[in-house]
Structure formats: C-alpha cells, structure tokens
Amino acid sequence: MTTHKLLLLPGDGIGVEISREVERVIETLHGLGGANSFEVEIDLVGGAAIDAHGVAVTEEAIAKASDADAIIFGAVGGPKWDNVPYEIRPEAGLLRLRKDFDLFANLRPAICYPALAEASSLKRELVEGLDILILRELTGGTYFGEPKEIVTQENGEKRAVDTTVYTTSEIERIVKVGCDLARKRSGKLHMAAKWNVMKSGVLWRDVTVATHQKHAPDVELELILADNCAMQLIRNPKQFDVIVTDNLFGDVLSDEAAMMTGSLGMLPSASLGAPDPKTGKSKALYEPVHGSAPDISGQGLANPIAMIASFAMALRYSCDMSSEADIIETAIAKVLDNGLRTADIMQSGLTKVGTEQMGKAIAAEIQSAMA
C-alpha cells in the first residue's frame, strides 16, 4: 500500500465549494480500496488565512506543504480583501508557495471535450478533441527581472521599465521538462520565443536547440516565433502538442489556448519544481486556472471540473497513478456526454446542475469505472 500525502488548500470563494468535490473524489478512490491511499491535510490560504492569522499563508501551512507529495489549491481572493496591504494580499499565499518550492514549470493543458466543442469560440472541427499542453516558465523572465520600476525623469515625464532576464540553466531545465512531456505524449515539442527582436529570445532558441540535441533528439522539435504561435493556435490548434515558452508569452498563449475549450471552469493546471536529487520527486502544486469567482460564490453554481481535473494531474505527475488519472478524465468526459452542465457551460436542451451534483456525477462514474 502506498500512501500519498496531500495538502488541500481550498482558499476563498468558490475554492471552498469545488474543493469539497475533490474531497468527494478522494473519498470515492479510498472507498474502492486498491494499492494507493491518501492522507489529506486541510489548511487555510488567501483571504481565509488573513482573517484567521493575519497572513495569506502561515509557516505551519508551509511546513505541511513541504511535507506533502502534492498541494491541491482552490482559489484565493475576493472583494473583502481588496484593500489589505499589498504584502499580505490573498495572492501572496500562492506566490509564497511558488517561490518557496521553486515551482518553475507551469503545465496548462487545453482539452476540448467533444461534448463542449460548441461552447468554443472556434469552429467545432478546429477544436473538437483538442488536447494540447502549454508549458510556461513561471519563476523568471519579465515578471521578475530587475530593474522593474517607474521613474520620473528630469523633464517630469515618467519612464517605466520591465526587464526580461533568463539564464542558460533556467531555460535548460524548462526545456528538459518540455522534452519529457512531449516524449510521454505525441513526441512533438514547439518552443515559442521572439529571437528575431529579443536577446532573451536568441538565448531561448540556442539553449533549446542544444538541450534538445543533448537530452531528447528523439523528440521532434519545432521553433516558432511567439506571435506566429498565437496566430497558428487560432488557425489550426491541433497542429500543436506541447508548447514550451517563457513566463510572459506563456501567460498570454495559455489564456488564448484556454478559451478554445469553452470555459474557465474546465481548465486545470500544475506547477512543478525541480526533481529532488535523492528521491527524483518534484514539489508540485495543482490548481484550477480560474479565480475565486466572487460573483457566483456561495451559491453552489461553480463548475468543479477544473479542480477535479487538477487533482487528476496530481495523480499523474505526483502520485504515479496515471491509470486513475485517466479514469477521472474519462469520468468527466462521460458526465458531459450524458448532458450534465453547470451554468457556465450550459447549452439548451441539456441538464443544468450545481457544483455538488456535478461532483457526485463524476464520482459515480469513477466508481462504476473502477468497480
């Protein structure tokens, strides 16, 4: 029996509601027995932690996170905390976790379930069955480079500076992750950068080519300019499988890819750290892409699929439970095929359900698949 330690951080708003549905899925897996079990700790993060402890994440929660095989994160934030000081705002909890565990690799799959192809803004034939993965570098580049400032010049005009900085090792480690992921999927990797106008892009291109040749010559590598990548994603998204890119382009391209799938409520993500040299295991945090949705929170309306699919990613990448992850993903597809829809993905003639009903239906499909 292998026991996996999970830290569940529901957070705020709908984070709390959709986390309950992940707990339901965990209980379902438990109930079915098998060679794996879970030890689940639950703690506060975001606004809930600010209310209880005055900080967005406590040292105790960080210690639990450090001890866990995977951190399962809901969402943080909401109008209640809009005016707290910047340093203790709800998002500070998430940023602290990302920083402490050096979660540099952000995996954002964009999967278009056939049953939801109509909900996409692109034509059905372009997106039906789409399954791509944007791999975004998360801890470097434009969002962190120094100098980062707005200065008032002598003539009174303001001047803003952001700096895009990458080192060889930062690029190499994310490209290696990209190669590994591509190898486990269709064997095809795109790298998107702007080597035509940015020095950091030149380094991305050169390090990617060298890393690929050294570590994964069996993977098919294609370099693509980031602007062309944005265009090709709309023109013919299924030409891609894994796209690795920097922090800034990854932010934009992953949101673009996300919208092809219909709703924010469908999108899971994973953020992985470097493998521990002794155990080979990476620290990892799994979370839906969406936020705490204050406009619908507390009403049982939230779509729990992004959060449940994030848990499936945790099984795949942190618990070595790929077949259970497949079962969860198939259960989600089946429930959608059966016509169940939360409000965000509702189509006429189908059955509108709330958060709990959707979670229960997915749990029931998991149960019947594993029975």
Q: Give 89's DSSP letter.
A: S
Distance (Å, whole) CA 174 – CA 138: 9
Judged by CB under 6 A, the number of residues near ligand NAD is 20
Subset of residues 51 to 110 that bind ligand NAD, contact rule: CB under 6 A: 75-78, 94
State the distance between the two ends of the chain, measured CA to CA, in whole angstroms: 19
Minimum distance from residue 15 beta carbon to ligand NAD (Å) = 7
- Regarding 291 and contact with ligand NAD (CB under 6 A), the answer is yes
**CB-wise, 208 or 303, nearer to ligand NAD?**
303
Instruction: Answer yes or no: are the C-beta atoms of 116 and 336 closer than 8 Å.
Output: yes
**CB-wise, 18 or 203, nearer to ligand NAD?**
18
Catalytic residue flag (residue 241): no
- Regarding 295 and contact with ligand NAD (CB under 6 A), the answer is yes
Subset of residues 14 to 53 that bind ligand NAD, contact rule: CB under 6 A: 14
Distance (Å, whole) CA 263 – CA 35: 35
CB atoms < 10 A from the CB of 323, how many?
10
Catalytic residue among 12, 246, 251, 344: 251
Minimum distance from residue 155 beta carbon to ligand NAD (Å) = 36
Minimum distance from residue 138 beta carbon to ligand NAD (Å) = 12
Catalytic residue flag (residue 255): yes
Catalytic residue flag (residue 344): no
DSSP string of 245-309? E-HHHHHHHHHHHHHTTS-GGG-EEEEEEEEPTTT-PEEEEEEESS---TTTTTTT----HHHHH
Distance (Å, whole) CA 265 – CA 21: 14
Distance (Å, whole) CA 19 – CA 25: 10
- Regarding 344 and contact with ligand NAD (CB under 6 A), the answer is yes
Select from 323, 328, 327 the least CA-distant residue to 309: 328
* Sole binder of ligand NAD in the list 245, 292, 310, 318 (CB under 6 A): 292
Q: Which two tokens stand for residue 138?
A: 């998360």
* Sole binder of ligand NAD in the list 210, 264, 333, 350 (CB under 6 A): 264
**Which residues contact ligand NAD (rule: CB under 6 A)?**
14, 75-78, 94, 264-265, 287, 290-296, 302-303, 306, 344
Known catalytic residues?
A: 143, 194, 227, 251, 255
